[in-house]
Amino acid sequence: MHAAVNSGRIIPVYILDDINSRPWQIGAASRWWLHHSLQALNRSLNDQLLVLQGDALTLLPELAATLKAKAVYWNRCYEPWRIQRDRLLKERLTQQGVACHSSNASLLWEPWHIAKQDGTPYQVFTAYYRRGCLQAPPPGQPLVAPAQLPFYSLPADTNALPGSALQGSPGIDALRLLPSIPWDTEMRQTWQIGEQAAQASLNEFLCNGLDSYRLGRNFPAQARVSRLSPYLHFGEISPRQVWHAALGESSIRGLEQDLDCFLSELGWREFSYYLLYHKPDLPSVNIQRKFNHFPWRDHSPDLQAWQQGQTGFPLVDAGMRELWQTGYMHNRVRMVAASFLVKNLHLPWQQGARWFWDCLVDADLASNSASWQWVAGCGADAAPYFRIFNPLTQSEKFDSTGSYIRRFVPELAALPDNYLHKPLQAPAAVLHQAGIRPGQDYPYPIVDLQQSRAQALTAFRKLREPAGQALT
């Protein structure tokens, strides 16, 4: 925006491109977010946002030709389909005499700037972040918003424009991003969307979350995490703004350990993009190919029970219902629910990643794919395969008083704390008093934890890296 404004009059354009993004078209919850995000953006652009839908590869060159644009400016995105599309776009626009300028607004370090001494990419997070990123030039200071936006006036007849271009709110409504049946009630109550809301969330976190982040971030019932992920994903706040604001706050209040931990989480976001950039098949293919031979099950009833939060394991169910109701799940619970799917139900991580893709408001191809591979044990620098989160002990440790479970699994709310984590082990009288009929009001556990864990470990132990396909 800065570069464009400095060069002359501008037309801000958004294209919903469901064609080049296949098979990773934006999921349902993210579409909901996108609708409100575009509305907020449009308001801050004095209702001047031009909205189109279709193949950006043809629409943008046509638009540039119709309007006789001299240049097109965009921020780089790093999903493999976007890299490919934007490369082609640049070729086409350049051929028709339109200058192209791209900038980095969504990462702290460009993936191609960070490499080992021998020039190859890092495989391990700690080395990537501590030796690669933190030794590289630090992230630049964020720019302030331009004082004025010199808009170019579009022709009154938008029919002259390509596609079904429309300006302002009518254009955003025409994208039909909102659900036709209202499953978004809880989401509307949970989130404020847009740049101002992003800044407010950052400030709230800096005042009330950062000083106990390192430990507090593990407890899903506590408001100790920033919840900035959807704002970061949609570019409503930039990682540079978050990075420098956190550094500034910490230098005033001396919060080195919490700051280091928080910044390193932003580092995980960078690492996810780094992996996606260097391994474009990260969203679908096991980085460690030996995992291709794991005897994954194909079992839709178990997948459905997991998706619906009906597994009989309260922490997993609470997380899956938080996801469904709010479009978000706390990181600790994401790890537990994902581990349960892969290592207890033995379902392929890709099926879990797909569900998250559709349900998360922060669904992000890089972070989602890298995190699923990490939990499954098949990613770069992944959790070792023998690290299997036990949903019972995780629940007792990180939700000991059951506030999180009681909120999202209300049918268990009347149980005493000590039975909340394993409800159907409660004596019949306790269950009766809490109004729970086993198997009716709350499901029996769908899997035996010890047995399924042992089976996973045996199968993982048998895996061998196929010759010539080891992680490079």
Closer to ligand FAD by CB, 49 or 323: give it: 323
CB of 440 to ligand FAD, least distance (A): 31
The token duo for 335 is 């790890």
Closer to ligand FAD by CB, 165 or 225: give it: 225
Closest CA to 103 of 83, 85, 81, 77: 77
CB of 239 to ligand FAD, least distance (A): 8
The DSSP secondary-structure symbol of 175 reads: T
Q: How far is CA 225 from CA 205, 235, 305, in A?
A: 7, 19, 28
Closer to ligand FAD by CB, 227 or 290: give it: 227
CB of 209 to ligand FAD, least distance (A): 7
CB of 352 to ligand FAD, least distance (A): 7
Work out whether the CA dihedral 278, 283, 289, 291 comes out positive or negative.
positive
Closer to ligand FAD by CB, 89 or 366: give it: 366
Structural contact between residues 171 and 51, judged by C-beta atoms closer than 8 angstroms: yes
Closer to ligand FAD by CB, 36 or 51: give it: 36
By three-state DSSP, how is residue 71 classified? strand
CA dist., res. 61 & res. 68, Å (int): 10
CA dist., res. 311 & res. 352, Å (int): 14
Q: How far is CA 206 from CA 79, 144, 269, 324, 380, in A?
A: 30, 20, 19, 28, 31
CA dist., res. 447 & res. 441, Å (int): 18
CA dist., res. 453 & res. 447, Å (int): 10
CB of 171 to ligand FAD, least distance (A): 27
CB of 431 to ligand FAD, least distance (A): 32
Closer to ligand FAD by CB, 228 or 447: give it: 228
Closer to ligand FAD by CB, 122 or 372: give it: 372
CB of 204 to ligand FAD, least distance (A): 11
CB of 177 to ligand FAD, least distance (A): 18
CA dist., res. 455 & res. 457, Å (int): 5
Closer to ligand FAD by CB, 225 or 305: give it: 225
With 0-12 / 13-18 / 19 or more C-beta atoms within 10 angstroms meaning exposed / middle / buried, residue 168 is: middle
Closer to ligand FAD by CB, 217 or 406: give it: 217
Give the footprint of ligand FAD on this chain (CB under 6 A): 217, 225-229, 232-233, 265-266, 268-269, 272, 331, 334-335, 338, 356, 360, 362-364, 367-368, 371-372, 375
CA dist., res. 368 & res. 361, Å (int): 12
Strand order in the sheet with 166-167: 13-16, 50-53, 166-167
CB of 135 to ligand FAD, least distance (A): 21
